[in-house]
Structure 1
């Protein structure tokens, strides 16, 4: 018997010490009565030995059933989902009552879980519908702003009034782009929390995904007069094109948002020590991140010191990136120095 078995045996005997004491007292009284009635001591000893033997058999037989029940409970605790179906048949009324309570709790848990799942599905469906519907007026506003800008440029009027109008239209473009970005973020957030995600793993040429994200933020680069440094590489990796594109969009958005001057550099390469791993690095010359904020930048809703200074910071972008890359089996790391810039690295293993 191992240490755990000895421990349980001591506990079992301790829980029944009262009954054992009663049996011992009865045996002592019977032995005393027989002794004063002239029964030979040998016969009394034989009777006591027989009583002790029967008691030991009953105790250890009961402990065997007790041990079996304990082992079954430990197995169920390791896999609590089968709790109500795998319980040992009750031997006593109180065990039956306990098991009925456990089954009732399991049924209530299943009911609540199904109710929460249905609510989550309804919420996700509503948010998805809302995001898709909001894109229609966003697209219409884009066209209207583009038309107004085209009109301003066609007039070729270099007056201050016309320049002010152009700046206002361009500012509208920036704000509308930000609205569209937040709507996409809301959609991806709801999809990420769903029980099943539409991940499609395939061999993707990373240059295509990076160029698409760069084109998406081209106006932001031009507006802030930032350089984008990127040398195309014919490197492919196994990933999900759409979700990786969303991650790159978020990282480029952060790089542009927190860089006042200088450049944003994107590099793609295979590691020398592991040719199967593909690394994507996005590096900027922005305001950087404080050392004390770095360990928490990927937490939900955490914006840090620099994020508090920016009214547009939500603290969701890097959290979504980390969550998506974790589900894809990729790695994300962030290195930064305040006042110098930030470097974000994506590692795609087995590229």
Structure 2
């Protein structure tokens, strides 16, 4: 709060004071009071008014400077009322009371919104669990009655299942830590499950699925990691099937402090301009625009889950040559001691 701004704000009271002093002097002169007495009286008035003016200014300056400093310092600026002392001057008290009521109203609205979102997510999760049963039944029927169901119909059913599962993991992603269990799992077993799940896509598109040197144990949640692998391999299948001699290769390497798994394909690759954004929410890029139904959510969810699990995911690509996705699993010595 600058002094000049405060003076401008109090300009009316300053003018009124000066006018009052002028009237007093005129009255004193009319009554022919001594000149020295007039001067002394004006000096006393000026001193008293200056003390009141400056005291009022510094009280407000201290309060508002502290207020704006705390607002800039806080990550959650709406908590600023908890960090300042209630002012002694009336307009400051009114301001704090108004701010308190605004905060209270905002908190009530936020709580109502959070409740609505929570209820909606719970409904979505319930609906997904309900819909997965008939989808699983249709897939089983298609497997058991191949003479009745077309193979392409089976593949479309599996796509529906995959998209429904993606919705479930996205809905749960915000509170993933409440659902996962970090234990030691064999990468080879998880990858075998993913290969089995995607075998129809791989066979239909004649994609060579190569797995090398992945018999390592990592600390993870098998269900969440399976979903991450499924999203990456699903993308590889989608963007590799048009190539000649397509392949997807998964290889691993073990180090003293980490284990790295690389998923590589020889698909259409990713343009250099898109690489930095591939993990952004709903980003489809130039390749996604060619794929009419791309959502841009798969890698975003995979990245979010990796972060929550303590894994890292990186991607590199050369357009029309290859795409490599690298997953890094950090080894935890504390787990080895207490297990």
Q: TM-score, normalised by structure 1?
A: 0.79
Residue 193 (structure 1) shift? 3.8
SS at match of 1:255: helix
Partner of 1:266: 250
Residue 59 (1) aligns with residue 53 (2): yes
Q: Distance in 2 between matches of 1:108 and 1:196?
A: 31
Determine helix, strand or coil for the equivalent of 1:61: helix
Q: Which residue of 2 aligns with 1:339?
A: 320
Is the contact made by 2:275 and 2:315 (CA closer than 8 Å) also made in structure 1? yes
Residue 282 of structure 2 aligns to a residue in which SS?
Answer: coil
Shift of 1:334: 2.3
Which one of the candidate residues 152, 158, 167 is aligned to 1:177? 158
1:195 and 1:282, CA in 2 relative to 1: closer, same or farther beyond 3 A?
Answer: closer
Aligned 8 A contact 2:177 2:308 in 1: no
Q: In structure 1, how many angstroms separate the alpha carbons of the residues matched to 2:6 and 2:253?
A: 64
User: What is the CA–CA distance in structure 2 between the aligned matches of 1:201 and 1:143, rounded to whole Å?
Assistant: 31
User: For the residues of structure 1 that align with 2:276 and 2:183, how far apart are their CA atoms?
Assistant: 32
The alpha-carbon deviation at position 264 of structure 1 amounts to: 0.9
Matching of residues 192-341 of structure 1 within 5 Å: 192-194=173-175, 197-260=178-241, 261-270=245-254, 276-341=257-322
> How far 1:86 moved relative to its partner?
6.3
* Residues 148 and 169 in structure 1, CA contact (< 8 A), matched pair in contact too: no
The residue aligned with 1:137 is 134
- Partner residue in 2 for 1:162: none
SS of aligned partner of 1:305: helix
After superposition, what is the alpha-carbon deviation per residue over 1:80-105, rounded to whole angstroms, capped at 9, x for unaligned? 34356667546566555544443333
Alignment of 1:134-173 (within 5 A): 134-149=131-146, 169-173=150-154
Distance 2:57 2:289 in 1: 63
* Secondary structure class of the residue paired with 1:249: helix
| Distance of aligned partners of 1:17 and 1:240 in 2 relative to their CA distance in 1, 3 Å threshold | farther
Offset of residue 255 of structure 1: 0.8
Taking a change above 3 Å as real, the CA distance of residues 50 and 241 of structure 1, as seen in their structure-2 partners, is: farther
Q: 1:196 to 1:349 in 2, by over 3 A?
A: closer
Distance 1:301 1:219 in 2: 27
- Stretches of structure 2 that go unaligned for 5 or more consecutive residues are 333-339
CA contact (8 A) 2:213 2:253 kept: no
Contact 1:267 1:280 in 2 (8 A): yes
Deviation at 1:179, TM superposition (A): 1.2
- What corresponds to 2:105 in structure 1? 108
Against the structure 1 CA distance between its residues 196 and 235, is the aligned structure 2 distance closer, same or farther, given a 3 Å change threshold? closer
User: Is the 8 Å Cα contact of residues 191 and 197 (structure 1) preserved in structure 2?
Assistant: no
* Aligned counterparts of 2:39 and 2:257: Cα–Cα separation in 1: 81
1:13-45 per-position Cα deviation (integer Å, ceiling 9, x unaligned): 33223323332343355456556735243x444
Quote the Cα distance in structure 1 between the aligned partners of 2:281 and 2:71.
34
Aligned partners of 2:322 and 2:328: how far apart in 1?
Answer: 20
Change (3 A) 1:144 1:242: closer
RMSD over aligned Cα atoms: 3.1
